[in-house]
Amino acid sequence: MLPDSIETLLGGLSAETFLREYWQRKPLLIRQAFPGFETPLSPDELAGLALEDEIESRIVLEHGAHPWELRRGPFTEEDFRTLPERDWTLLVQSVDQFVPEVGELLKAFRFLPSWRLDDIMISYAAPGGSVGPHYDNYDVFLLQGHGRRRWKLGQMCTDGSPMLDNPDLKILSEFTTEQEWVLEPGDMLYVPPGLAHHGVAEDDCMTYSVGFRAPSHQEILVHFTDFLAQFATDQQRYGDAGMQPPADPSALDDAALDRLQAIVRQAAEDRDALAVWFGRFMTEPRYPERVQAQETEPGELESLLQQGYGLIRNPSARLAYRVEEDTLVLFASGEHCVLPASLLPRVRLLCNEDYLDAETLLGWRSEGDAWTLVEQLLSKGDLLIEEEDE
């Protein structure tokens, strides 16, 4: 089901060319990016997910209580029974975390940093269904999963682009069609941030949106300074020892500003702190309640491995690492630990593989640090013991 090469996924382009010319800049239509794609999830199964409390779902009705009405899940079977024949869309977020076959699709996107990935949202639309002309602030690959959808691409937008007066959804009030295609299962459209797009279901259809995230400058500034502030003591103060008498006691002079700038600059230039904060921030799980500490008895891991159980990476956990000279820092679901650099090959496996078999892991018993790390990740809930039927 996965494309056999990056060139198939990207319509003949290499990852380098795509990243240089298209990523964040221009849209790209790729016919049969996933050749012969068949949706691993039926519309009914998608609707089933939207009944669950812990799954984020929405329904958009073009002609609801008001134009482009947004309803939020969880929904009931009755909600689905009373929907009109056409012009509505069901959207279910983070299906990759709930359905392993959908999570598998992410393997095709390994040419991008995994910490940039947000989730796979899946929509099901009745004929005519659409979420309206809009733009997103993130990169998205729209993979057609089932049925056909007509996509129109429009102008580049900004925060100031005119919008309909809608309480819940940002729908563009102006849309200039620049390009238009009908996508069939397996076709994929890459849409860069800010580009207006409008997809309308030709028949009943499912679209998989592989979305990427990029923190806003506001988030970076707020969260990084919050992180830094934890380490500042109350005694560290603005200091003006040796200052000149002020020309005017009411004036904020340049010397005062220089002293302040030195405080801010010193904090901002702490690259190690920036790296630690960023790794923790980008690995915070979208659903922290799904990465739960688990009680494990001493010796339990070894005994389970000996019974042949492997470990899976919790699909809701996020892992990343950074190497700086001879230090290795592992980030796991919003936390970090400093490890010996010799652990790099093991850390790379833990971050990149969805599953580690018992035999491989038992081989790590003689390496104290690697074994302890696996035990810690298991107790934090970043790794899980495989289920009986997996």
Q: Which residues of the chain form contacts with ligand SIN (CB under 6 A)?
A: 89, 123, 131, 136, 140, 142, 197, 199, 207, 209
CB of residue 4 vs Co ion: minimum separation in angstroms?
Answer: 28
User: Would you say 60 or 383 has its CB closer to Co ion?
Assistant: 60
The answer to whether the beta carbons of residues 142 and 207 sit under 8 Å apart is: yes
- C-alpha span between 51 and 73 (Å, rounded): 7
Chosen from ligand SIN, Co ion, none, partner binding at 382 (C-beta under 5 to 8 Å by type): none
CB of residue 199 vs Co ion: minimum separation in angstroms?
Answer: 8
Asked whether position 96 contacts Co ion by CB under 5 A, the answer is: no
CB of residue 130 vs ligand SIN: minimum separation in angstroms?
Answer: 6
Chosen from Co ion, ligand SIN, none, partner binding at 89 (C-beta under 5 to 8 Å by type): ligand SIN
User: Would you say 96 or 136 has its CB closer to Co ion?
Assistant: 136
354, two tokens: 């969805």
Chosen from ligand SIN, Co ion, none, partner binding at 199 (C-beta under 5 to 8 Å by type): ligand SIN
Q: What contacts 352, CB < 8 A, 6 or more positions away?
A: 110, 114
User: Would you say 46 or 356 has its CB closer to ligand SIN?
Assistant: 46
Inter-helix orientation angle 271-282/217-229, to 10°:
120
User: Would you say 208 or 278 has its CB closer to Co ion?
Assistant: 208
The answer to whether the beta carbons of residues 279 and 324 sit under 8 Å apart is: no
CB of residue 159 vs ligand SIN: minimum separation in angstroms?
Answer: 18
The closest of 188, 166, 171 to 135, measured between CA atoms, is 171
CB of residue 132 vs Co ion: minimum separation in angstroms?
Answer: 9
Residue 341's alpha-carbon distances to 206, 330, 335, 337, 345, in angstroms, are: 45, 11, 18, 12, 9
Q: In the stretch 132-161, what mask flags binding to Co ion with x, by CB under 5 A?
A: ----x-------------------------
CB of residue 199 vs ligand SIN: minimum separation in angstroms?
Answer: 5
- C-alpha span between 384 and 365 (Å, rounded): 18
CB of residue 117 vs Co ion: minimum separation in angstroms?
Answer: 16
3-state secondary structure at position 231: coil
CB of residue 35 vs ligand SIN: minimum separation in angstroms?
Answer: 21
User: Would you say 22 or 227 has its CB closer to Co ion?
Assistant: 22
- 36 Rama class: left (phi>0) / alpha (psi -120 to 50) / beta: left
Total Cβ atoms within 10 A of residue 48: 15
Taking the CA atoms of 199, 202, 205 and 208 in sequence, report the sign of the dihedral they define.
negative
Q: How far is CA 273 from the centre of its chain?
A: 23
- C-alpha span between 296 and 11 (Å, rounded): 47
Stretch that binds Co ion, among 1-9, 35-43, 131-139, 306-314 (CB under 5 A): 131-139
Stretch that binds Co ion, among 63-71, 116-124, 130-138, 273-281 (CB under 5 A): 130-138
User: Would you say 181 or 227 has its CB closer to Co ion?
Assistant: 181
Which H or E run includes 229?
A: helix 217-229
CB of residue 197 vs ligand SIN: minimum separation in angstroms?
Answer: 6
Residue 139's alpha-carbon distances to 11, 25, 118, in angstroms, are: 18, 10, 10
- Residue nearest Co ion, CB atom distance: 136
User: Would you say 3 or 145 has its CB closer to ligand SIN?
Assistant: 145
User: Would you say 83 or 268 has its CB closer to ligand SIN?
Assistant: 83
User: Would you say 123 or 161 has its CB closer to ligand SIN?
Assistant: 123
- Residue nearest ligand SIN, CB atom distance: 123
21, two tokens: 């010319």
Which amino acid makes up residue 224? F
Q: What contacts 242, CB < 8 A, 6 or more positions away?
A: none
Which residues contribute to the site for Co ion (CB under 5 A)? 136
